[in-house]
A and B are shown apart, each in its own frame.
Chain A
Amino acid sequence: MEITESVKIIERMMNESKKTLHNYSAYFIIWGMVMAPAGIAEYLLIDYEYRWIVWPIASIIGGVLSAIVGNKQSKKQQASSAMDRVIGYTWGAFGFCLILAIAYAVSIQKPPHTLVLMLAGGATFISGGISKFKPFIYGGLALELAAIACAFFIPGEFHSLIFAVGILLGYIIPGFILRNIENE
């Protein structure tokens, strides 16, 4: 074998291995399409005492749909990269911190939007950085800006609306951009 041929094989295979990515878009789209309407619903139900009910409902729907997609994908999965593992750990840590943040917010009787946006922004930003996918980097920044707005500038009654906008910019739009790329 010629040495130039060796170089070509190494390049081709390295490029092939970079294509070995999970289809992450489905999770962003599912959670975005569940959480953004939940935020809008909470805003519309502002006079209703039990408006918080939208969050457990949305979480259950999102969790069930994600589990179905995850199960299907794991059956089809043929390879795994270090990036898959890092992204998996990032979102695992996010899930744990999310539960903790919501429990803490409930215990101090404060709405959890700011903390949730902050955590989601961090995990989205890291996912974008690791996968070099700019829409997630910008999406993560949009979520952090929404968190800052909720924390310091926007009155509490509008937090669920800001939350919905953050999720639209951070999850839904980048999720659909990624899905188009995955389908190419």
Chain B
Amino acid sequence: MNKLNKLLHQELRLAIVSYLAGVEWVNFNKLLDITEATKGNLSVQIKKLEAAGYLEIKKSFKDNYPLTQCKITDDGRNALDEYVKDLKQLLNMK
């Protein structure tokens, strides 16, 4: 268990990165919808992922409403690949 990436080994952060691995970008509201997280918690977790270089966050306005878009980075994608690899090893050891 020690081997697993601690940043990704958390329910909401893992959900965010796993979802983003399959899309080019997603709106904050869509992430809220699919993760069923609270606004505050989701904000905190995406900021942590951004600080680690796993996500890019773009803030803009659309039709006078603030729009936050998230995108996975190459580092984020590599980290998820490594995490899945480590997970497989741990599952094989069990």
Contacts and interface: CB of A to CB of B under 8 A. Distances in A.
Interface in B47-81: 62-63
A180 interface: no
B25 A13 contact: no
Given A3-B90, A79-B25, A17 B19 contact: yes
Given A20-B23, A79-B26, A13 B34 contact: yes
A17 B29 CA distance: 14
Given A10-B84, A13-B34, A79 B23 contact: yes
A79 B71 CA distance: 10
A61 to B, nearest CB: 28
A41 B21 CA distance: 48
Contacts of A79: 23-27, 30
A9 B18 contact: yes
Contacts of B83: 6
B52 to A, nearest CB: 18
A120 B81 CA distance: 38
Interface of B: 1, 4, 9-11, 14-15, 18-27, 29-30, 33-34, 62-63, 83-84, 87, 90-91
